[in-house]
Amino acid sequence: MSLENSRQFVQWGAERGLATVTISRPPLNPLSHQVKTELLHCLEAIAADPEVRCVILHGAGGRAFCVGADIKEFPEILDGKAAREHAMQEHTLYNRMRYFPIPIIAAIEGHCLGGGLELALACDLRVASAASSLGFPEIKLGLFPAGGGTERLPRLIGESRARELMYTGNPVDAQEAHRIGLINRLVPAGEALAAAEALGRDIAARPGGALRTLKMVLDHGMSMGLLEAQQLSVQGIAELFPSAETQTSIRAFLESRAKRQAGSQG
């Protein structure tokens, strides 16, 4: 994989349509102001590359995907104005991820807590190893997950389970996270990145125009009423059918099917 971007704490590279973004502040990969800024810059660079069709996000070192906000920066945000700016920066990053033009997969190894879990929730899919733990401990500090956790977690796992996780601040292990739908795939310890890459390669092999349109319809349609979302879907499919990429894919499928049928008859 060629290195396309190298900043202080965030790096990314791309190979055969799959980009891998690494947060590198081991051992726990906390989300400092600088890390969030670098993540946004990386996302903009990836979005500008038409060859990339899927993104993997993971944390370096194996002990943590990300443990959330950098506590060392908290003394800087103790007044209301600074706290508001801190939360707005988080929303800017997480919303950019949530509405990114191509799918993002979180590869979770180790701790995924607080803002780190909000980061993972902003991804389309989550793959976690059996050694992972996920949760929102903010309530224990007299805070709450204000970077989208209160909105995204209930929508993903249901209101009752989400309230319990946030009210207690206690994390769940990867097995429980998989059971309640917080993660998509559960893999053995140490294999989250490899499993996410395999899934990412599968997604990246799909037609890029269809992927982007599908993601747009899903992302925006889920915040609309049913009839409005259906109109968005109709518009999307109407734009896809005439495209050269879709027509090429359909022709290839029909030709392959005809060959299989001819072979079976022979």
Which of 26, 27, 20 has the alpha carbon at shortest distance from 6?
Answer: 20
Q: Single out the catalytic residue among 38, 109, 118, 197.
A: 118
Of 111, 103, 102, give the one whose Cα is nearest residue 31. 111
Q: Alpha-carbon distance 112 to 120, whole Å?
A: 8
> CA–CA separation, 231 vs 241, rounded Å?
16
Q: Which two tokens stand for residue 174?
A: 């990867």
In 3D, which of 100, 134, 127, 122 has the Cα closest to residue 197?
A: 127
Q: What is the three-class DSSP state of 265?
A: helix
Q: 199 to each of 7, 12, 73, 86, 252, how far by Cα in Å?
A: 26, 18, 35, 33, 23
SS3 of 15, please? strand
3-state secondary structure of 104: strand
- The three-state secondary structure class of 171 is coil
Residue 118 annotated in active site = yes
Q: Is 85 a catalytic residue?
A: no
Task: Find the catalytic residue in 73, 138, 164, 228.
Answer: 138
Which positions are catalytic? 118, 138
